[in-house]
A and B are shown apart, each in its own frame.
Chain A
Amino acid sequence: MSKKINEDLLNERKKCTFDMQELTHVIDCGEQNTMKRKFIDDYILNIKELWDDVPEEYLSHKERYENAIRKAFIILRCLREFNSSSMQVSEHRTPTNIYSIQDGIFRNVNPLLIHVGLFWSAIAAQASADQQAEWLKADSKMIGTYAQTELGHGSHLRGIETTATFDPETDEFVLNTPKLTSYKWWPGGLGKTANSCLVMAQLCINGTCHGLHIFLVQIRDYDTHEPLPGIKVGEIGPKMGFNTADNGFLGFDNCRIPRSNMLMKNVQVLRDGTYVKPKHNKLAYGSMVLTRVMLITDLANQLSRAATIAVRYSAVRHQSQIKSDEPECQILDYVSQQHKLFICLASSHAFRVVGLWMWNTHRMVTADIHQGNMEQLPELHSLACCLKAVCSRDATSLVEQCRLACGGHGYLLSSNLPQIYNYTAAAITYEGEYTVLMLQTARYLMKSWKNALEHEPLPANVAFLGAYIKRNYEQWQSSPEGIINGFKDIAAGKIKTSYDTLQRHLRNGLDPEEAWNLSSIQLTDASEVYTRSLLCELFWRDTKQTCNTVSINLAVVLEQLGELYLVYWALEKHGDLLLYSTISRNDIELLQSRYGELLALIRPNAVGLVDAFDIRDEVLSSTLGAYDGRVYERMMEEASKSPLNAEVVNESFRKYIRPVLLKNKM
C-alpha cells in the first residue's frame, strides 16, 4: 500500500490521546482474540476467488445468488479447516467478531448462514442421543435449514398451521400444508440450496393436537437436488437486504417421513402413538433466547462498521466555513455532526457490553436449567426480549443516522451504508417483532410489580421496584449514578402507571385481553424505559470496571463515552425525568451544557475511537470509510466498475432515445 494517507486523517490520528491497540484488545475480549481474528482475516483474504471484480450490486438477482453460493462453499471449507469439527460444534456462535471478515465477502449474507449457524445446533439441542449419532456424521449429505414462520403466521407461534399427523399403520408422520397461509415462508437457504429442513408443525395423533414439534424432513434428492414428491419449494423473491440468503417457501402435500424423524430429546411419540410429554414445557425456549442474545453482539458490530465509515468520512469531508475568512472546515467540527455520530460510538460499546453480559447470564441460567432449576428462565426470557428489541431498533436508527450524516454520498451503495442499514433493519422484525417482544417483557414487569406490591422477593434486575415503593424521592443529581437512578424512577413510575391503567380497565368490567390491549401503548412505553435503565446501568457498571483495568489515558476516554451515553439519553427522555424524578428545568439546561462539553472532549479522539474497532477495509467495503481516507478517489474507482461505464454508448440510445430525437426533428 504505497498510496498516501489523507492528511486530515493523519492529523486526527496524531491528536489521539490513548493507545488504540489497547482499546482494540478490550473490544475483542483479549489480545489473543485479536490475533485470532487477524489470522482468520488474513487467511480468508488470501483466497483470491472470494473477491469480486464486478461488485455484487450490479448483478441480477439470480447471478447474485449464484455468486454467493460459490463463495459460501469456499467459506464452509475454510470453517472446516479452522475447526475440523465445526460442522457440529458451531464454536463461532459465541458472541465474537472473529469471523466478521464474512461481512466483507458477502456484502449481503451467506446463504449457508442457517445451515452453519442454526441447523446443526438445533439438532444438537433437540434431537435424542440416537438421532444425533445418526445425523451428526462427518459425511452427512444434509444441507439444512430451519422452517418455522409461515406466510400467515410469524411471532404468534401457536397459530402455526402446518400439520404432522401420525400414521400408526406405517409408523410415519404425514406432513401437510392445509392452506395458502400455512406455507413456510422466510427460512434462509430454503429456496434453492437446502436439501433438508427442520420443520415446525402441529403434531396430531389420533385426532388430538399436541402442539408444535420439530421434524427433520428431506426436501430434495441428495443426488439430483430435485424437490421430492409432495414438496413444493422455491424462493420468495427480492427483499430490502439478505438477497443472497436464499429465503424460501415450502409446502407439503401428504409428505411422509419416518416416526424417527421427529426430534425426540425432550418429547417422544412411541410406536403405538403414545405421546410422552416433555418434563418441562419451557425447554423449547432455549434456542430462541440464544438467537436473540447473539443478535445483540452482531448489532454492536454492524453499528461499529457504520460509525467507522461516517466518522472517517466526516474527518475527510470539508464543507462550508464556520468563519468566513477561514478555509472550509472538516464537517466533524460541526457540533451538529458530532451530535449525530458520537452517540453511535458510545452505543456500539454499550451493545457490545450488554451482548456479552446477556451471553454470560444465558450461560449461567442454562447451566441451572440442566440442574433442573428453571427459576430464572422467565427473567432471562424477558431480558432477551426487550434487549433484542431495543438494541435492534436503536442500532438501525443510528446506522441510518450515520448514513444520512454522510449526505448524498451515503446513498451510494459503494459507501456500504445502505447495505448495513438494510441488514440491520431486518432485525427489528425477525426473531420476534419489536412490539410483540416489548409486550412480553411488559407482562413480566406487571407480574414483578404485583410481586413488589405484595413484598415478594424480586430478581436483581427488577429489585428497584421494591425500592421504589419504599423510598422517598431523592434529590436529583446530575452524576452518571444520578441519571441511572432517574431512569429507574421513570421505569418504576411508568410500570406503576400502566399497572394502574390495566387495573382500572379491569375494574370497569373489561376482560383481561381487552384491558391489556387498551393499556398496550403505555405498556410498551414502560418496557422501553425499563430497557433504557438496564442499558445505562450495565454499560456504566462495565465502564467503571474496565477503567480499573486499563491505562489511565484509555480510562478517561471510556468514561467520557459512558457518560455521553447517559447524558444523551437523559436529554432524550427529559420529559419523562420531569414527570417522574426530581430533576428541575435548570438541571436540564446544565445537562445540555455538560453534553456539549462531552462532545468537545471526545472530538479529538473520534477517529482514534473508530480506528480501535479495528475493522479492515475489506470488511468495511466502503468508499467513504477506508483507513487511508482516499474517499473521492475510491468513489471514482468504484463508479468506473459500473457495467454502464464499460461502453461509451449504451444500446438503449439506439433502441429508444435516438428514434425520439429524430422523430421530432422531422
Chain B
Amino acid sequence: MAKINEDLNREREKCSFNVKELTILMDGGPEKTKERKERENFMISKRDTYAGIPEDYLSYKEQYEKAVKKSVIVFGLVRRLQEEGKTTIHNYRDVLGNLLRASDVSTGFPLALHYIMFMPAIINQGTDEQTARWLPRAWDCNIIGSYAQTELGHGTFIRGLETTATYDPITKEFVLNSPTLTSYKWWGGGLGQTANYSIVVAQLYTKGECLGVHSFIVQVRDEETHMPLPGIKIGDIGSKLALNGINNGFLGFNNYRVPRNQMLMKHAQVLEDGTYVKSRNPKLNYGAMVFVRVVIAFDMANYLSKAATISVRYSAVRRQCQSKAGEQESQVLDYLTQQHKLLPAVAACYALKITANKLWDTFNTVNEELLAGNLQRLPEIHALACCLKAISTYDTATFIETCRLACGGHGYMHSSNLPTTYSSAVAACTYEGDNTVLLLQTARFLAKTWQEIDNETGKLTPTVEYLKTTKSKGFSHKWLNTTDNIVYGFEVVSMRKIASCVQNMQKRVASGMTFEDAWNMSSIQLVAAAEAHCRVIILSTFNSEIKELTKTTSPELKRVLSQLVDLYSVYWALEKLSDLLQYTTINHEDVDGLRSWYEDLLTQLRPNAVGLVDAFDLKDEMLNSTLGSYDGRAYERLMEAALKSPLNSEPVNHTFHKYLKPFMRGKL
C-alpha cells in the first residue's frame, strides 16, 4: 500500500461527522450497503482479465472489440449471480445498476441495451405467450437484442417515424420497409455488429390503414453465422463524443418479413385476418418512458458523484500560490472561488439522489394505480419525469464540466476521467427525449393545470398543489432569508411564470394568432416556467426529505446535511436572482444577506468537503482517475498513466526518419 497523501489524511481527520453513517444513510440501511459492496467487489475481482492498454490509446475498432470482450466477462458475472439465485428478473435492474457502476465502462457496453431495453420491452409489451417464448432465451443470452426506435430523420417526435410494418393476411406476416434514407433506424445500442435481434418500432399498416407506431421483435442476423439476414441492411453509425464501445448501429429493411406473432401484442393486436384490436388504454406505454427517465436521474447522480469526488480530492492535494508570503502554497480547496465551484456540485449529488429516490417511490405508487386502472395521476407523473430528466441531465452536465474546469489543465487529461464522465453524462441531454422538448411537455401540463385551477374544486395532485396555495395567498409575502422561504419563493416564481405565459398566450390568441403560433412564440418563457417548476420539486423534496432523514441521525451528521441543504437552496436562489427579484418581495438588502450567508456556508462546509465525497464510497477502480484516487497520489498517477502511452514505449517514433529528418535536410 502506497502512502496516503498528507493533505488528505489531514482532511479526513478534520471531518466532523461519521462518513460511514452518511454512506449507510444514502444506501438506505446497513444491509443495502453490505449488498452493494459485495456486488462491487465481485465485479472488480475480474478486472485483471480485461486490463491492458487503456481504451484511449486504441483504435476505434479495437475499442469495440475490447468492449465486447469486457461485456462478455461482466455479463458472465451477472449470469453467475443468476445461477446463485442472487438476482431474478424482478430485481436485475437494481443489480445491473450496481454492477455497471462498479465496472470500468469508459466506453460503454454493447450488451447494455439487451438488458436495459430489449428484455423490458418484451416483459412490458409482450403477451404471456410471447414472454414465455422469448424471455428465457434472452435471459440466457441465447439471443442478443437491441432496441431500434429513433431514425436518421426522426427522434423525439415519435409519430413522425417512417419505418413501415404492413400486414400481409395471406402469409400472416408483417412486411417491414425503410421507404426513405431518413427512415433508417439510427442509434440503437449494440445494433451495429453485436445484436442478432432487435425490437423495432414501426408504423403499423393493416387493411390499408395506418394505425400508428407499434413494436416488433425482429431477427437481424443469423444465430449461427451472425451474417445479416436477407432484406436487412445493418452497420455501425461511426465514432461519437464518447461511449464508442456501445456499438450504436443503423438498420434498414427491404421487404423484410416477420411472422404475425412477433408484433408485441399485450396492448394492441392484429388478428390473423388483419383486424386491428385497439389497446384498452393507449397511454399504458407511457409507464415505460417514465420509468427510463427516472433511471436516468439516478445515473446522473452517479456520474456527478464521480466528478465531485475526483475534483474535491484533487483540490485538497493541489497547492497553488501563496496566500501569505513565506508560507507553504495553499491547497486550492482553500480558495473561496474553488469552494464556490465544487461544493454546490457536491450538494447537487445529494439533492439529485434524494429527489430521484422520492420520484422512484411516487412512480411505483402511480404504477400500481395504473395497473389497477386508475390513470388519474399519469399526466402529472409524466410531466414530472419529463422535467426531472431534463433538469437532472442539464445540471449534471454543467456541474461535471465545472468540476473538470476546476482541476485546471489536468482536468483536460483523459487519465483524470473527467472528460469521459462529462461526455458520457451530457449524452443524456439529448437521448430519451431532447431536454427542450421534454420541458415543453411539462409546460403543457402546467399551463393546462393553471387554466383549470379555479374550476378545480378539490385539491390538485400533490406536485402542483403549490400553484393553488401560492395563488390564493397572493404575491405579497414577506421575504426571509431561510431555506423554507427560498422554497416558497421558488414556488411563487414558478406560479407567476406559468400565469404570465398563459396570460401572454391568451393575449396573442385574442389578437388573432392561432394557439399553436402563440405557443411557439411563448416557448422561451414556457421552457423557463417548466424549469422553475422542476426547481421547486427538487428544492422542496431535498429540504423535506433531509429533515425527515435526519430525525434519526447523529447530531453531527444532521448539522452537515442541513448545511448542505441550505447551501443548495441559497446557491439556486443566487443563480435565479433575476426571477426572485422579478416575482417576489426580495430586496437589495436581502440579496446582500444571501450572499454573505452563502459565503459563510462555504466556509462552514469546507472542513467536511473531503468527508462528503468519501461518503459516496466510490472505489478507485470505479473512479478510474489519476486525480481523484483515495490516496491522493495525483502526480505519481499522472506520470504512471502517461508512461503507458504506446508513443512512450519507443524513444524515437518512425515519423522522424520518414518526415522530420528529410524536412530538416530540405528534402521534403
Interface residues of A (CB under 8 A from B): 55, 57-63, 65-66, 69-70, 72-74, 76-77, 139, 141, 143, 149, 151-156, 159, 180-181, 183, 185-186, 191-193, 222-227, 234-242, 249, 317-320, 322-324, 328, 333-337, 339, 400, 404, 407-408, 410-414, 418, 421-422, 425-426, 428-430, 433-435, 439, 497, 511, 513-514, 517-518, 520-522, 524, 573-576, 578-579, 585, 588, 592, 596, 632-633, 635-636, 638-645, 648-653, 655-661, 664-665
Contacts and interface: CB of A to CB of B under 8 A. Distances in A.
Nearest to A428: B405
Contacts of A653: 193-194, 226
B57 A62 contact: yes
Contacts of B434: 407
B664 interface: yes
Interface string B70-90: 011000100000000000000
B357 interface: no
B193 A58 contact: no
Of B434, B514, B647, most A-chain CB atoms within 10 Å: B647
A239 B412 contact: yes
Contacts of A239: 412-414, 419
B637 to A, nearest CB: 11
B527 interface: yes
Contacts of B51: none
Interface string B36-57: 0000000000000000001011
B419 A240 contact: yes
Contact of A73 (B250, B523, B591, B663): B663
A554 to B, nearest CB: 27
Given A429-B411, A653-B193, A60 B226 contact: no
A153 B250 CA distance: 47
19 contacts: A69-B660, A152-B635, A154-B409, A156-B321, A234-B648, A239-B414, A336-B523, A407-B156, A414-B239, A429-B405, A429-B409, A575-B579, A579-B577, A640-B235, A644-B235, A645-B236, A650-B64, A652-B64, A657-B144
Nearest to A519: B336
A412 B647 contact: no
Interface of B: 54, 56-62, 64-65, 68-69, 71-72, 76, 140-144, 150, 152-157, 160, 181-182, 184, 186-187, 192-194, 223, 225-228, 235-241, 247, 250, 318-321, 323-324, 329, 334-338, 340, 401, 405, 408-409, 411-415, 419, 423, 426-427, 429-431, 434-437, 440, 514, 516-517, 519-521, 523-525, 527, 577-582, 588, 591-592, 595, 598-599, 635-636, 638-639, 641-648, 651-656, 658-661, 663-664, 666, 668
A649 B225 contact: yes
B635 A418 contact: no
Nearest to B71: A656
Nearest to B524: A339
Given A575-B578, A639-B238, A649 B337 contact: no
Kindly name the residue among A411, A435, A592, A651 whose own CB sees the greatest number of chain B CB atoms within 10 A.
A411
Contacts of B65: 650-652
A89 B427 CA distance: 44
Given A60-B58, A579-B588, A639-B235, A573 B578 contact: yes
Contact of B60 (A57, A514, A661): A57
Contacts of A143: 660, 664
Contacts of B240: 411-413, 418
Contacts of B340: 521
Contacts of B192: 644-645
Nearest to B658: A70
Given A180-B639, A240-B419, A656-B68, A404 B250 contact: no
Residue of A240, A324, A334, A576 ringed by the most chain B CB atoms within 10 A = A240
A61 B524 contact: no
B520 A58 contact: no
Nearest to A623: B238
Contacts of A404: 426, 429-430, 435
Contact of A240 (B226, B412, B643, B645): B412
Contact of A237 (B59, B415, B652, B661): B415
Given A514-B323, A644-B192, A237 B409 contact: no
Contact of B660 (A62, A225, A242, A659): A225
B157 to A, nearest CB: 4
Given A592-B525, A644-B61, A650-B193, A522 B69 contact: no
Contacts of B588: 579
Nearest to B398: A397
Contacts of A60: 57-59, 62, 646
B155 A408 contact: yes
**Among all A-B residue pairs, the 7 with the closest Cβ atoms:** A575-B578, A238-B56, A418-B241, A240-B419, A575-B577, A60-B59, A652-B68
B238 A642 contact: yes
A578 B581 contact: yes
B227 A518 contact: no
A318 B241 CA distance: 24
Contacts of A665: 142
Contact of A61 (B223, B405, B578, B647): B647
B57 A235 contact: no
A520 B336 contact: yes
A660 B655 contact: no
B336 A518 contact: yes
Nearest to A640: B235
A229 B419 CA distance: 35
Contact of B580 (A61, A151, A186, A575): A575
B235 A645 contact: yes
Nearest to B65: A652
Nearest to B662: A73
B155 A578 contact: no
B636 to A, nearest CB: 7
Contacts of B411: 429
* Residue in A62, A186, A518 with the greatest tally of chain B CB atoms within 10 Å: A62
A65 B646 CA distance: 11
A504 to B, nearest CB: 10
Contact of A408 (B144, B184, B337, B431): B431
Given A61-B647, A522-B595, A652 B656 contact: no
Contact of A407 (B142, B430, B521, B595): B430
Given A185-B638, A575-B579, 20 more contacts: A61-B58, A143-B664, A186-B409, A226-B651, A237-B413, A237-B414, A411-B241, A412-B238, A421-B241, A518-B599, A520-B335, A520-B336, A574-B581, A576-B578, A579-B577, A579-B581, A636-B152, A652-B64, A652-B68, A658-B226
A418 B462 CA distance: 41
A657 B226 contact: yes
Contacts of B193: 644, 649-650, 652-653
Contacts of A640: 235
Given A225-B661, A517-B323, A408 B187 contact: yes
A363 to B, nearest CB: 29
Given A234-B647, A239-B414, A411-B240, A511 B324 contact: yes
A339 B60 CA distance: 36
A143 B665 CA distance: 12
A632 B182 contact: yes
Most buried by B among A73, A180, A576: A73
A425 B408 CA distance: 11
B227 A648 contact: yes
Contact of A322 (B235, B320, B520, B598): B520
Contacts of A141: 664
Nearest to B519: A322
A63 B405 CA distance: 28
A185 B410 CA distance: 10
B369 to A, nearest CB: 30
A61 B238 contact: no
A337 B520 CA distance: 10
A227 B652 CA distance: 8
A520 B660 contact: no
Nearest to A186: B409
